[in-house]
Chains A and B, each alone.
Chain A
Amino acid sequence: MKYIITSVAIIGIALLILLAKSLSNTDLISSDTFRFLVALSVFFVFSLIVLIAIQVFRLLQSVKKEIIGSRLTLRLVLSFGLMVLIPVSIVYLVSVNFLTKSIESWFDVRVESALEGGLTLGQKTVDILVNDIELKGKSIAYSLSNTLPEKRQSLLIDMREKFAIQDAVLFNKNGSINLISSSRDVLMPPSIDSDDITKASEGYFIKIEFSDNIETGDKEIFLKAFIPVDSNKSKQKNVLDVSSQQQILMLTQPIPRSIANIAVTVESVYEEYQQLTYSRNSLKIIYTLTLTLVLLLAILSSVAISFILSRKFSRPLAMLADATKEIAKGNYKKFIPESGKDELGVLVKSFNSMTSQLDSATKNAKKNRKSLEEARSFLEIILTNLVTAVVVIDDSKKIRLYNKSASKMFNFKLGNAEGKLLINAIKNKKLYEGLLKFIEEYLENPKKNKKQISTEFKFELNHNEKIIILQISPLAEKIAGSYVLVIDDITMVTKAQRQIAWGEVARRLAHEIKNPLTPIQLMAERIQHKFSKKLNKEDSGVLDKSTTTIVKQVNALKVMVNEFAEYSRTPKMQKNKFNIKQLLGEVIDLYTSKSLLITLNFNKDSIFIEADENKLRQVLINIFDNAKDALRNIESPQVRVSLDLKVDKVAIVIQDNGIGIPKEIINRIFEPYVTSKDNGTGLGLAIVNKIIEEHNGTIKIKNLVKSGVKIIIMLPTKNLN
C-alpha cells in the first residue's frame, strides 16, 4: 500500500508541475493536453481520497479491534494531517485571494477608458483624414472632369501638390493608367485591384490599408480614395476624351507615421486588453482550479504519506507494547527486530536484552521449581505411603498438612481437613480424647513444646484393642509455631510381640514340663503295678484310682505340652501345588455324617494353590472340629462351605449355624489360651491363625446375626515365601 500511495502522490505532483507549465507556456502544452492533465489530476485526487478512505477504514477497524499501536497511529495521522492542513489551507486561501485580486487589478476602469479613448481618438483621426482625402479627391476629380485631356496632367500635378497628396493616379475601368503624379522620387506603377475598380465604378469609396514598412519595421496606414471622374463636361465642350470611358481617380495618402504607430498600438493593446477581459473569469477558474488541485494533492499526499510515517513510527512502539503483553502472559521468547540507532532502536535493544535475561531467569526458576516440586512430590509420595500417620498442626491446633494414613486413622475426609481444627477434623473424638488432651497440654506448655515427646495410648475400637504411639515434636525454627505429630499404630506389633512371647513361654513350658512327665507316668504305673497286689482291695482300689488319675493327668499334660510345642514350633513349610477343592472335599467327607450336613458350594472342578497341604489340612480339621463342637446341641446342624477365586487369591468361607463365639472373646479368639470351650486349650485357633499368617493369608471370624459363625480365609494362589 505504501508504494501505491507514494506512486500516486509522486504522479500527482508531477501532474501539477505540468499543469503549472501549461499555464505559463501556452506553446509547450496545448489546451487539450491541459484538459487531459486536469482530468488526470482530478483522477489522482480521487485515487488518493479512495486510498486514504481505505486506510482510514482499516485504521478505525484496527482501533475497534484494539490492535496494539493502532491508536498511536491514529493520533500520529491526525497530528500530521493537522500539521499539513492548517498551513497549506492558509497558504491556499491567501494564494487564491492574492491571485483573484491580482487578476482583478489588471482590469482597471480607468485603463479601459483610456484605451477606449485612445482607440476612439485614432478612429476620429482616421475619420478626419478620410474625410479630408475624400474632399480632396472629389475636388481633384471635379477639376479633372472640367479640364481638357491635354491639360489634365499638369492639373493633376498642381492639385496633388496643392493638396499635399502622396500619389494621384487616373486610370480607366480596365485598369490602364492614364495619368500619374507622385511626391515620391521613384514611383512604381500601382497595381489596381479589379474589385476596387468595380466598387469605384458604382461610386467613390475610401479604403484604409495597413502595411509594415520593410526598412523601419514601423506600421503604416494608407488611405486610398477611389473617385470616379465624370467626363461629361469635357464632352459638352467637344473635347475628345482620351479613353472615351469613365476614368477613376485614385489618391493615396499615408497617415503620418507617429499617428499610425500610436493608432495601431492602441488598437492592438485594446484588443489584447479585451481578450484579457474576456479571459478574466476563465483565468480565475483555471488558477483557482490548479491551486485547489495543488491543495488537495498536497494535503492528500501528506495525509497518505502520514499513514506510512505514522505506521513506521508506531510500529516499534506497537511491537514493544505487544511484546510487553506477551511477557505479561509469560512468553519471554518474544524478540523485536531491531531497527535504527535512534532512541527507539536503543529502547528495542534494551527490551530484547531484558527479555532474554528474563527468559534465562525464568528458565532457572522453572528448573528450581521443578526440582523443588520433584522433591516435594517425592516427600508426598513417602508421606502418602507411610503407614505411620503424620499430621502437621500449628499453634492454634489447625491442621496444616496430613498424610493418607492420618486421614484413615482419624477418619478425615481427604483434602478437606486442611485448615480445620484438629479436634473438629477427627470424627471419633471420644476415642481420641486422651490423645487430644495430651496434644493440648503439650502445646500449652511452653517448656514441653520445645522438645520431642512420645507417649503410648491404648483404646478399644470395635471390641479390638488398639495401641498407638504418638510422637510430637516442634518443627524447625524457620516454620516456628508448627508441630509434627507422628502416630504409629503398634497394635499388630504388640500382637506379634505377644505371640513371640507366648511362643517362648510355650517352648519353655514344653521343655520344662515334658521332661518330668514321662518319669512321673512311668513311676505312677510302676507304683500301681508293684503295690496294687500288695494292698487290700480297698487300698488297692484307691491306689489304682490315684495312679490312673496321675497317668490320665500326665497324658493330659502331655497333650497340652505337645500343643504348646506345636504352637511354638516353626517347622519349615513343605509347599506344593495342589487342588484346594479336593482337600476341602476330603476334610468334608471326614466330618459328614447323618447328624451333620456339610455342603460345598463351588462350580469349578479345581483351584490349584501353592501351599503346605498338611498344614492347611490341620487348619481345616481344627475349624471343622470347632464347628462340630458348636453344633453339638443344635437342631438340624449344618455347615456351608464355599470357595471363591479372586484374581490371585482364593477365599474359603466356612459358615455354621452353631452357638457362635461369645462377644467378649471374639476379638481375641486367635490369641493363645482364649477359648469358650470348657476343656479347650485355647491354642487351636491360635495355631490356625499362625499357619494362615505363615501362608501370607488372612483369617477373619465373626458371629452371624441369627446364630453361627462365619470364617473367611484368604489365601494367595501363588505362595513363593
Chain B
Amino acid sequence: MSDRAAEKPPGASRRKLLVYAPLAVAAVGGLGFWAMLRGLQDGSFNPRGVPSVLIGKPPPEFALPALATSGLPALASADLRNLSRPVVVNFWASWCVPCIIEHPQLMELHRQGVPVLGVNYKDRLREAQGFLTRHGNPFQKLGVDQPGRVSIDWGVYGVPETYILDRNGNIRWRWAGPIMPEILAQDVRPLLARLA
C-alpha cells in the first residue's frame, strides 16, 4: 500500500499550467479591451467605420454628366489624372442634413484655392441646384450621379463622403461623414500640405 501512496500523479505539473489558462485568456482580453476603450476616446479605434478599399489606388473609370443649371463643367475620371496639386472629391446630396453642416468647411477650402470637385448622389436636379444657390458653390467641377452606380464603384456607402487624391491621381484619404472644423484642421490641411 505504501508504495502506491508515494506515487505522484504524473500529470500534476502539467495540470498546474492548465489551471492558469482561464486567467491568461481573461488577462489578454482585458488588455485588449483597455486598448480599445482608449482608442475609442482618442478616435483611433472606430468599430463603425468602414475603411476604403481604394486607398493608394486610382479611382474607377467614370464619366458623369454635368448639372446644367450650375454652369459647372462635368466630372470624369480623366479630370483626376495628371493633377498639378492634390484635390478634394466630395459626395453630397441636397436631402442630406450633415452635408449642410459640412458645407462651410468646403467653402473655406474653395476660398483658399483648394480644388474641390463634387459628385451629386441620387438627387433631384432642381433641388441640387437649390442647395448650391442657397448655401454657396465650392465646386470647380460637378458630376451628377442620379442612379448612384458610380458612387458604388467608389465604395461610397452614405453621404457625405470626402476623398483626397494626390498629384498622381491616387486616393490617399477617405472620410465618411461631414468634415467638421476639427477634421479640417487636424487631417485635411496637413495632408494637403504634405501632398503638395
Q: Do A and B come from one complex?
A: no
